[in-house]
Amino acid sequence: MSRGKDKKLLAGLVGAPLEALTAPALPGGASRGAEHLITDVRYVGSYDVVNKTTIIVPGSPPVWSPPTAPFSVAPDTRALATERNEYKLGSPMFESVFASIDAVGTDVKWPEVDLVTNRRALRHLYRWLDGANSKPRDNFRIDVDLFGDRTMLFSEVARTFQFDDKHPGFGARFEVETTDAVPGCEASKGHHRIVRYNFGGLNLVVRFECDARVDMPSGATSSTQATEQPYKPNRNSPYILRAGAIPAQDAIVEIKTTKGKTGTGGLRQTWPSNKWTDVAAQLLLSGTERLHTGMHVDGNFYVVEEHEVDKTNMLAERPRVANCMRRLGSLLGVIRERVLARGREAKAPLSIVCQSGQLRLYERTSRRIALAEEFTARFSA
C-alpha cells in the first residue's frame, strides 16, 4: 500500500495502537453445532437507494427472471459498476437504516441490541480470521461507536472504488439482464435489507445489499401503496418515497458469476466447490437461503443455476467455514469487551485497523460518529 493510502487508513487515530488482536482459539465443540451459531433471523427494514438524499421504503429487490441459457451480456462499464457499488451514494452512513426501520414500523428494542453493522464489516473480520487479508488491497478500517450502555456501531471507512478497464468483468451486467425491477422501484440504484439475529449470544442488526428475490405467490410478500411525493421524517433523515414489497427471508437471492474455463481447458458445468467456500460467509451473515449463479466464457453464459442453501449441510461439508464463523463470534465478543470497558471509563472511541494482515485496536482522536444525534436517543433504556 502506498504511503498516501496508509495515511488515509490511519487518519484521525492516535499514533501507536492500543492492542494487537489475535485470532481467538476455536471454541470447544467447534466441530458440532455450527449451524446453530446464527439463529432467529428476522426482517426489520429495507430500502432502495435513489440518490444521495432519497430512498424508497420498503423498496424491493428486483425479481429474478433470467433468459434461457445460453445468452450473452456486454462487459461491465465503469458507470454501471460504480452505480451498483455499495459504497456509492453514502451507503456506509446509517441514517437510512434507522429511517427505513421507523417507516416500516418494526418494533426493535434498541437498548438490547449489541451491534449494528453492515455485513461487509463482518466479512472483513471473517476474511482476516481465514487468513485472506495479507495483501494491501485487503486492508480495512472499522470505526466503532458506543451508544447507550451496550450497543456498538461498526462503520467502515470507505475505500476508493477501483474498476479495471482492461478486465471489466460481467457480474453487474449479468444482474441487470437476469432481473426485473418491481413497480415503483424502477429508479433504484440498489436494494438494502436489514435483518436482526442472534450470533454467538450477541444480538445483531445487520444491513446488506440484496441482489434479487424470487417471484413469490400472492400473499407471500407484503406490498406498500406507492406515494408520488417524498417526505422527510426529521432533519437528518433522507427523503422517503413509499413503494415496493417486502419478500419473505427465504425468497432473498445472492447472485454470483464465474469464468467457466478450468485450468485444463474444459468448461465447468456446476458452481465449483472452492467458490462455495468463498460465498458461504456472505450467505450466512445475511440469512440468505438462495444462491443463483452464472458461468460464462467472455460474457457468453452457458449455465445458470439456482441453489437452495442448506445451512447445516453447507457447514458440515466445509469445516473451515464453520470454524471461522465460530471464531468470528468469539472475536466480536472480545471487541465488545474492549469497547464496553472504554465506554465505562468515558475514554475516546476505538477503531479496528487491518494492515498487512495484522489486526489492531487504535484510539480515535475524532469523535465524529456515523449516526446523527437525533437517532441515538433510542439506545438509552
Per-residue pLDDT of the chain (381 residues; tens, 9 = 90+): 445 556 778 999 998 999 999 999 877 654 455 667 899 999 999 999 998 899 999 999 999 999 999 999 999 998 887 776 654 544 457 999 999 999 999 999 999 999 999 999 999 999 999 987 667 778 999 999 999 999 999 998 866 667 778 888 999 999 999 999 999 999 999 999 999 999 989 999 999 999 999 987 655 556 666 677 899 998 889 999 999 999 999 999 999 999 998 777 788 888 888 888 889 999 999 999 999 999 999 999 999 999 999 988 888 889 999 999 999 999 999 999 999 998 877 788 999 999 989 999 999 987 667 788 889 999 986
- Give the C-alpha distances (Å, rounded to integers) separating 324 from 103, 166, 201, 232: 36, 34, 16, 42
- Give the C-alpha distances (Å, rounded to integers) separating 212 from 129, 192, 240, 246, 368: 29, 11, 21, 12, 34
Provide the grid cell at 361: 485496536
* Residues ≥6 apart with Cβ < 8 Å to 271: 256, 258, 291, 293, 295, 305, 307
Which of these, 280, 273, 277, 275, lies nearest to 257 by C-alpha position? 275
| Residue 348 · residue 362 · CB < 8 Å | no
Residue with cell 427471508: 249
Question: What span, in angstroms and rounded, lies between the C-alpha atoms of 188 and 207?
Answer: 17
pTM above 0.75, yes or no: yes
Question: What span, in angstroms and rounded, lies between the C-alpha atoms of 290 and 279?
Answer: 11
